[in-house]
């Protein structure tokens, strides 16, 4: 039986979209990685850090929102960050999109920043990272930082250190 048009893809179909050459030339997952394994491992990391996926995504999004106004120039964000955005004319489709030929994924409030890459440097520590704008949506809506073998992976531990996030009390 076919899935309803607004149902998120799962299993084999979803992993096929994530493999190199699927929805991304380089892939969201490596050729032998399992999505469930990657998500579970990263969920454990986020929990050990005492944070939530939502908080991590919100902090990254806040910096990117400010950097977008810089129109490709390196901009200072707050007291501790420098950020630069590379904007593209097309946009990356979320692999979970129910109807990827007609609409972007709406899970978790939808997708923003899918047409950019970012680079952020923490001026206090010197640590720098780069990644795709779609990662905010992937973290918030799907608890996904991309596969270990993906060149676009944003490691959750590294990202938390970059953003200098402290555990949530409670």
Asked whether residue 1 is assigned to any structural domain, the reply reads no
The stretch 148-155 carries a mean pLDDT of 96
How much is the pTM? 0.90
**70-84 tens-digit pLDDT:** 877 899 998 899 999
Asked whether residue 5 is assigned to any structural domain, the reply reads no
Asked whether residue 120 is assigned to any structural domain, the reply reads yes
Q: What is the pLDDT of residue 4?
A: 52
* Distance (Å, whole) CA 141 – CA 116: 18
- Is residue 8 very low, low, confident or very high in pLDDT (cuts 50, 70, 90)? low
Asked whether residue 152 is assigned to any structural domain, the reply reads yes
Of 22-26, 38-42, 152-156, minimum mean pLDDT range: 22-26
- Is residue 1 very low, low, confident or very high in pLDDT (cuts 50, 70, 90)? very low
Domain that holds residue 24: 11-163
Asked whether residue 4 is assigned to any structural domain, the reply reads no
Residue among 9, 8, 7, 29 at smallest CA distance from 18: 29
Sign of CA dihedral 142, 148, 150, 154: positive
Asked whether residue 2 is assigned to any structural domain, the reply reads no
Asked whether residue 24 is assigned to any structural domain, the reply reads yes
* Distance (Å, whole) CA 117 – CA 88: 8
The residues with which 81 forms a beta bridge, in sequence order, are: 77, 122
Per the structure, the count of domains in the chain is: 1
Of 7-11, 19-23, 75-79, minimum mean pLDDT range: 7-11
Residue 169 pLDDT > 70: no
**97-106 tens-digit pLDDT:** 998 888 888 9
Asked whether residue 87 is assigned to any structural domain, the reply reads yes
Q: What is the pLDDT of residue 110?
A: 86
């Amino acid at each position: 039986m076919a899935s309803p048009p607004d149902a998120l893809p799962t299993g084999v179909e979803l992993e096929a979209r994530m493999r190199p050459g699927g929805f991304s030339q380089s892939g969201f997952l490596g050729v032998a990685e399992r999505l469930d394994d990657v998500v579970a491992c990263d969920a454990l990391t986020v929990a050990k850090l005492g944070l939530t996926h939502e908080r991590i995504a919100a902090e990254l999004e806040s910096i990117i929102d400010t950097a977008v106004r810089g129109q490709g120039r390196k901009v200072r964000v707050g007291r501790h960050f420098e950020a630069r955005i590379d904007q593209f004319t097309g946009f990356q489709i979320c692999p979970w999109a129910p109807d990827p030929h007609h609409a972007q994924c709406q899970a978790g409030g939808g997708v923003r920043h899918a047409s950019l890459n970012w680079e952020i440097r923490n001026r206090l520590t010197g640590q720098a990272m780069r990644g795709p704008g779609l990662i905010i949506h992937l973290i918030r809506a799907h608890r996904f930082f991309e596969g270990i073998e993906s060149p676009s992976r944003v490691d959750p531990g590294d990202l938390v250190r970059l953003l200098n996030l402290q555990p949530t009390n409670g």
